[in-house]
Amino acid sequence: MKIALINENSQAAKNELIFETLKKVVEPKGHEVVNYGMYTGDDKAQLTYVQNGILAAILLNSGAADYVITGCGTGEGAMLALNSFPGVICGHVEDPSDAFMFAQINDGNAIALPFAKGFGWGGELNLEYIFEKLFEGESGQGYPKERVVPEQRNKKILDEVRKVAFKDIITVLKSIDQDLLKGAISGEKFKELFYANCKCDKMKEFVESVVGK
């Protein structure tokens, strides 16, 4: 699995801590972490949590990433932004039990974490335990056992509702403010990382039309 990390401007200083903690947990499981920044608070390309949503949607819908780890001060804004786009199911996760139940019950492809609220002593330990529970085995297996069948059924129903509720991703990206879009994909390493990992020719062509090759 290819896991993308995205940080917005208010919590960019924690990027290295989050990146190293995530790698520590998931690389032994055979997953790869790709860090899209922000890398520091002084990065030239400043991402807002809304732009986190745009970038996450591009990565997930293009196949450049299979999962996105992101967040903001409380995690709420990032979660709302990611869930505004087709192809993204983002949970708000504060602790390891949230992570485990989101993975097993909701079977999403992104989480938004609070990187300021409640992030004091032991913050990095909580992150480590969250990542352990999030990527513990195959997701979507249901929890508790007696609820597996209805939970898996409800997830399929949700997926079908979302197909009707959302337009295709390229139509959405063409319709939003183009300066906002360009800002979301102007990070110093975006093109290098995205073009190396993108699996969708249409999305690659669209991105090239916005930021070039």
Torsion sign over Cα 29, 59, 139, 12: positive
Per domain, the residue ranges of the chain are: 2-211
Amino acid at 128: E
> What is the per-residue DSSP string for 26-44?
HGGGT-EEEE----STT-S
Residue 187 is predicted with a pLDDT of 94
Task: Name residue 72's beta-bridge partners.
Answer: 114
List the chain residues with pLDDT less than 70: none
* Superfamily name and number for 2-211: Sugar-phosphate isomerase, RpiB/LacA/LacB (3.40.1400.10)
Give the model confidence (pLDDT) of 162-175 as tens digits: 999 999 999 999 99
pTM score, two decimals? 0.96
Six-digit token string for 36: 């899209």
Q: What is the DSSP string of 73-96?
A: SSSHHHHHHHTTSTT--EEE--SH
| Token couple for 183 | 């800002």
Write the pLDDT tens digit of every residue in 71-107: 999 999 999 999 999 999 999 999 999 999 999 999 9
